Amino acid sequence: MADKYSADTIITETQKRISNAFDVFDHESNKTVDVREIGTIIRSLGCFPSEADLHDIIAELEEEEPTGFVRYEKFLPTMTKILLERKFRPITEDLLLQAFEVLDQQKKGHLEPEELTKYLTQEGEPFTQEEMDEMLSAAVDPDKNVILYKDFFH
């Protein structure tokens, strides 16, 4: 077996991961994906970009005359760089818990659905109604009708 830790191997392995993830969304098997799937692909490779970050990346990946599709030849080098430079580092569980605690101003230990909705649909990079509904359906405790955020973390 070749030396696993050589720089070349790391790059090749990284690129194969990127290729696999890209292929999942390449419906017509012609090495292009819909530009609207780029965010999903990048995130599924372990990155946590913001919407603004994605906006910039997509602008870089699009053709001069935007076709609505992104070609693999353009995606690969951009994504390789992102992964090798470890951009858009993961958000740790500690950090996420702190975020919820900040929003829980009154230190109740839980959040009301209306509270969370207000923050997430009005502040930062606001959720769409669909995103908010989906998150609430997963996060709200059906009996108590609140979000017991501490339970998300081990």
Partner 1 sequence: RGCSRSTRVLFHEYSIKAAILIQRWYRRYVAHLEMRRRYTWNIFQSIEYAGEQDQLQLSSFFSFMLDNFTHMNGNGPGNKYLISHLLDSVVDPLTEEVRQLKYEQIVVPESYCGPRLSFPLSVTDTNALLSAFKEEQTLHGKYVLQLLYETKKFLKQMPNIIYLSTSYAKEITICGDLHGRLDDLLLIFYKNGLPSAENPYIFNGDFVDRGKKSTEIIIILFAFLLLYPDHMHLNRGNHEDHIMNLRYGFTREVMQKYKTHGREMLQLLQDVFSLLPLATVIDNKVLIVHGGISDKIDLDFLSTVERHKMLLKYVLFHMVIICLIQVVDILWSDPKNQSGCSPNSFRGGGCYFGPDVTQALLQKHGLCLLIRSHECKQEGYELCHNGQVITIFSASNYYEEGSNRGAYVKLGPELVPRFFQYQVSRSTRKLTLHQRVCVAEGSALRALKEKLYAHRSDLMAAFQQYDIDNTGRISTSEWAQVVESVLRLDLPWRTLRPRLARLGADGNVEYESCFEDISPGEPIPPVTPNLAETLYRYRTDLEIIFNIIDKDHSGQISIEEFRQTWKLFSSHLGVAVNDQTIDDMARSIDFNKDGSIDFNEFLEAFRVVHKLVIKEQQQG
> How near is the Cβ of 102 to partner 1 at its closest, in Å?
4
DSSP-assigned states of every residue in 3-55: -TTSHHHHHHHHHHHHHHHHHHH-TTSSSEEEGGGHHHHHHHTT----HHHHH
Residues 6+ apart with CB under 8 A from 85: none
Q: Which is nearer to partner 1, 62 or 115 (CB)?
A: 115
Q: Which of residues 46-105 bind partner 1 (CB under 8 A)?
A: 47-51, 91, 95-96, 98-100, 102-103, 105
Asked if 143 interacts with partner 1 (CB under 8 A), we say: no
**Residues touching partner 1: how many (CB under 8 A)?**
45
Across the strands, what pairs with 70? 33
> How near is the Cβ of 25 to partner 1 at its closest, in Å?
6
Instruction: Determine how many CB atoms are found less than 10 A away from the CB of residue 77.
Output: 11
Q: What x-and-dash track marks residues 9-48 binding partner 1 by CB under 8 A? A: ----x--xx--xx-xxx--xxx--------xxxxxx--xx
